[in-house]
């Protein structure tokens, strides 16, 4: 399969493929298809570890190195070797702790990628967001205008007062009594005039006025009854308004109860959706943490295996050195080598150094050998001051960590001698 040359700023499927391949080599990149600073840094580290030109540009050589099948060489008996590749399929037949073991080799598995929610978690989260977006609105009463109008009528009635002129019943009585009084007055005046020979006189006028006054007095006597009737009507009207107000309030309360039931059902469903999302997310994330913990345990196991193998090789080397010195003494030879000291930073222990380098995040036998040689040169030249030189160097944190451990072992070996 042909791949295009990509560099910082590139985007697309080839970048995603690159990020996936680098993650298979132990890096931790987001597979987002964007060639940014983090991806470029990982590319350069990988290129250096493989002896390639560390320019951060992924061309044919880098693609070939990344896509080439991992070759695991047979290690001689009694040695520990790192193939430089990582077991992408996890634990299989003949594996322990997730690490391929056999023929003296230990291979680091791929580190789990950063947590990504499963489809079930994503679906549950989307359902929860949809419920949250469909929350019922505030209650709006369809009876509010009617209630306001009734209330205003009730409180706006004021105290009872009676105005006869505004009472239709009084006007009816007034018209009736006035008409009756005038008729009685006319009859009385006609009768009085007949007694005086048909001539009108003051007596007839007085008698007529008396009859009219009697009717007006009778009308005044009816006023209390008319006022009482008006009060009854005013009171009954108030009772009717109050009853209408209460009835309308009851209808409004029924509507509000229905609204509250709807809101209650909504929150019950929302709680269910939230609980479902939380359970799915918790289980999903815990599975990721379990996988990450298993990877860390397996890495620690590989590191311990390397330490055990290194201890055994150191013992065998010390034993061989002692035997060699005894043989020289026995032969009476006084000659001694003036070359560099032989330490565990390189030489016979190079395969073990590769295991340490892989466990500490280094990649490639060449990088490990270069660091071993640098540690030996520093130790031979400036002794215990080599630690300061390591700390002030431009090496990465993982490289410095590896060099410190190798220097410590050189110092321990020198102390045993």
pLDDT in tens, 348-360: 455 555 555 555 5
Please indicate, yes or no, whether residues 144 and 48 belong to a single structural domain of this protein. Answer: no
Domain end call among 224, 254, 284 = 284
* Number of Cβ within a 10 Å radius of residue 98: 21
Does some domain include residue 388? no
Same domain? For 275 and 130 the reply is yes
Residues 62 and 126 in one domain: no
**Structural domains counted in the chain:** 2
In this structure, the strands spanning 81-87 and 105-109 are parallel
CA distance 130 to 277: 13
User: What pLDDT score does 247 carry?
Assistant: 95
Domain that holds residue 195: 119-284
Average pLDDT, the chain: 78
In a shared domain, residues 154 and 271 = yes
Cα–Cα distance, 227 to 264 (Å, whole number) = 55
Q: Which two tokens stand for residue 6?
A: 């990509």
Whole-number Å distance between alpha carbons of 388 and 299: 29
Count the helices and strands in the chain (H runs, E runs).
11, 4
CA 410 to chain centre: 50
- Are residues 258 and 130 both part of a single domain? yes
pLDDT, tens digit, 9 for 90 and up, residues 115-171: 899 999 999 999 999 999 999 999 999 999 999 999 998 888 888 888 888 888 878
d(CA 59, CA 245) in angstroms, rounded, equals 85
Does 203 reside within a domain?
Answer: yes
Q: Using an 8 Å Cβ cutoff, are 219 and 128 in contact?
A: no
C-beta separation of 296 from 359 below 8 A: no
Residue 152 domain-assigned (yes or no)? yes
d(CA 118, CA 394): 41
Residue-level pLDDT at 347: 47
Beta pairing partners, 11: 34
Residue 360, domain member (yes or no)? no
Give the span between the Cα atoms of 133 and 126, in whole angstroms.
Answer: 11
Where would I find the H helices in 37-167? 37-49, 60-67, 119-133, 144-155
* Listed residues 284, 304, 333: the one ending a domain: 284
In a domain, 102, yes or no: no
**In the listed set 68, 93, 108, which residue is the last one of a domain according to the structure?**
68
Exposure of 227 in the CB half-sphere (CA atoms within 13 A):
11
How far is the C-alpha of 66 from the C-alpha of 63, rounded, in Å?
5
- And the tokens for 42? 């990982």
**Together in a domain, 129 and 62:** no
Residue 279 lies in a domain: yes
Same domain, 138 and 280: yes
Q: Are strands 105-109 and 95-96 parallel, antiparallel or unpaired?
A: unpaired
Give domain status of residue 365, yes or no: no
Total Cβ atoms within 10 A of residue 232: 10
pLDDT at position 136, please?
92
129 and 198 co-located in one domain = yes
Is residue 364 within 8 A of residue 51, CB to CB? The reply is: yes
Residues of the chain scoring pLDDT < 50: 70-104, 333-348, 363, 416-417
Global pTM?
0.39
In a domain, 13, yes or no: yes
User: How many other C-beta atoms are found inside a 10 Å radius of the C-beta of residue 347?
Assistant: 13
Both 62 and 123 in one domain: the answer is no
The verdict on 200 and 280 lying in the same domain is yes
Residues 6+ apart with CB under 8 A from 37: 8
Strand-pair partners of 34? 11
Q: What is the CATH number of the domain that holds 18?
A: 1.10.101.10
Do 137 and 275 have their domain in common? yes
Q: Is the domain of 208 the same as that of 147?
A: yes
**Distance, CA of 62 to CA of 54 (rounded, Å):** 10
């Amino acid at each position: 399969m042909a791949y295009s040359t990509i560099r910082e700023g590139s985007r697309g499927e080839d970048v995603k493929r690159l990020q996936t391949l680098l993650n298979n080599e132990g890096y931790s990149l987001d597979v987002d298809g964007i060639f940014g600073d983090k991806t470029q840094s990982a590319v350069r580290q990988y290129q250096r570890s493989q002896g390639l030109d560390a320019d951060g540009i992924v061309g044919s050589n880098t693609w070939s190195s990344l896509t080439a099948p991992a070759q695991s060489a047979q290690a001689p008996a009694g040695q520990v070797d790192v193939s430089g590749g990582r077991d992408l399929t996890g634990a299989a037949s003949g594996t322990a702790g997730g690490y391929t073991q056999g023929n003296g080799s230990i291979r680091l598995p791929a580190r789990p990628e950063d947590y990504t929610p499963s489809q079930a978690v994503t679906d549950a989260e989307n359902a929860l967001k949809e419920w949250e977006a469909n929350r019922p609105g505030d209650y709006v009463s369809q009876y509010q205008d009617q209630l306001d109008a009734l209330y205003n009528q009730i409180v706006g009635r004021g105290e009872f007062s009676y105005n006869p002129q505004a009472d239709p019943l009084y006007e009816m009585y007034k018209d009736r009594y006035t008409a009756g009084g005038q008729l009685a007055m006319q009859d009385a005046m006609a009768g009085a005039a007949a007694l005086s020979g048909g001539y009108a006189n003051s007596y007839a006028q007085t008698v007529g006025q008396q009859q009219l006054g009697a009717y007006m007095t009778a009308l005044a006597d009816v006023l209390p009854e008319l006022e009482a009737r008006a009060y009854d009507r005013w009171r009954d009207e108030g009772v009717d308004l109050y009853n209408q107000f209460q009835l309308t309030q009851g209808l409004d309360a029924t509507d509000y109860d229905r609204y509250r039931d709807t809101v209650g059902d909504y929150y019950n469903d929302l709680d269910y959706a939230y609980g479902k999302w939380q359970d799915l997310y918790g289980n999903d994330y815990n599975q990721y943490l379990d996988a990450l913990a298993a990877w860390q345990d397996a890495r620690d196991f590989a590191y311990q295996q390397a330490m055990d193998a290194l201890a055994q090789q150191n013992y065998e080397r010390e034993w061989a050195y002692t035997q060699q010195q005894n043989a020289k003494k026995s032969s009476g030879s006084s000659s001694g080598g003036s070359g560099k000291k032989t330490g565990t930073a390189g030489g016979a222990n190079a395969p073990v150094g590769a295991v340490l380098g892989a466990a500490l995040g280094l990649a490639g036998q060449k990088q490990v050998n270069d660091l071993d040689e640098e540690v030996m040169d520093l130790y031979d030249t400036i002794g215990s001051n080599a630690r300061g030189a390591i700390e002030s160097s431009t090496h990465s944190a993982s490289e410095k960590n590896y060099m410190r451990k190798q220097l410590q072992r050189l110092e321990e070996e020198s102390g045993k001698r």
